[in-house]
Chain A
């Protein structure tokens, strides 16, 4: 009687690691770690407030965390600016944000951030303003 003794099957790890390396390379190159977020912008035409806007207040973004309202210049960290935003929130005003010439997109986003953080919902972006 012939006795059949099965040999223990040994899988070579080399092809496995080849495939795993290829998968690793693919995911390393194709994956992104950005967490995109969004900021809602509503816009109104230059110098033309929407019909529902009774008394819109306007904030001018001068760039570098500096803003201007009614001729008074504030920085975003100013307590006076935060109390102004609080006042706007309680008065439920419609706020227009206008970028002046040196302001960058990042500056506008920073100002919009402060406004939204103060709870003001009726905020619109108007087109840029050049005093010159």
Chain B
């Protein structure tokens, strides 16, 4: 009798879990569908807001100038001459270069980046932005 009661009690507990599991499943589906998993940047950076609706395309090189002014090439911390590090990558002129620059930086921080890329013959590059908040 005792074991029967315990079993019944356990079954009842499991039944109580069903609404919980429903909600957890719904949350799981939401994160699966709405989110996307990408490699995280190694440093904090706030992208400038833009009204352009062009989706970010694949790139060969990603240059990140983070909020703390640290410089990263393909998620590797770089110290010293940017042009030297870029030359080591042996980029062809048609290389797709993506620039991630913190929105709060002075525009003059782009100068050495642009100069280094020009010295390699890379003319067109993409600046990463986010959708403008309405």
Contact = CB atoms under 8 A, between A and B. Distances in A.
A120 to B, nearest CB: 13
Contacts of B99: 41
Nearest to A37: B129
Interface of A: 10, 12-14, 16-17, 20-21, 23-24, 27-28, 30-43, 45-46, 61, 99, 101-110, 112-113, 116-117, 125, 127-128, 130
Instruction: Tell me if A's interface is mostly helix, strand, loop or mixed.
Output: mixed
Contacts of B50: 37, 39, 109-110, 112-113
A38 B98 contact: yes
Interface in B4-45: 11, 14, 17-18, 20-21, 24-25, 27-28, 31-32, 34-38, 40
Given A13-B18, A23-B28, A99-B108, 13 more contacts: A17-B20, A17-B21, A20-B28, A24-B24, A27-B28, A39-B54, A103-B107, A104-B106, A105-B106, A106-B103, A110-B50, A127-B111, A128-B106
Nearest to B14: A13
B36 A32 contact: yes
A12 B24 CA distance: 16
Contacts of B36: 31-32
A109 B118 contact: no
A20 B28 CA distance: 8
A21 B28 CA distance: 8
10 contacts: A13-B17, A32-B40, A35-B55, A35-B131, A37-B52, A38-B129, A99-B108, A105-B101, A109-B49, A110-B48
A29 B45 CA distance: 18
A32 to B, nearest CB: 6
A114 B42 CA distance: 32
Contact of A39 (B109, B110, B126): B126
A35 B102 CA distance: 16
Interface in B34-72: 34-38, 40, 47-57
A14 to B, nearest CB: 7
A46 B112 CA distance: 11
Nearest to A63: B107
Contacts of A40: 54, 124-127
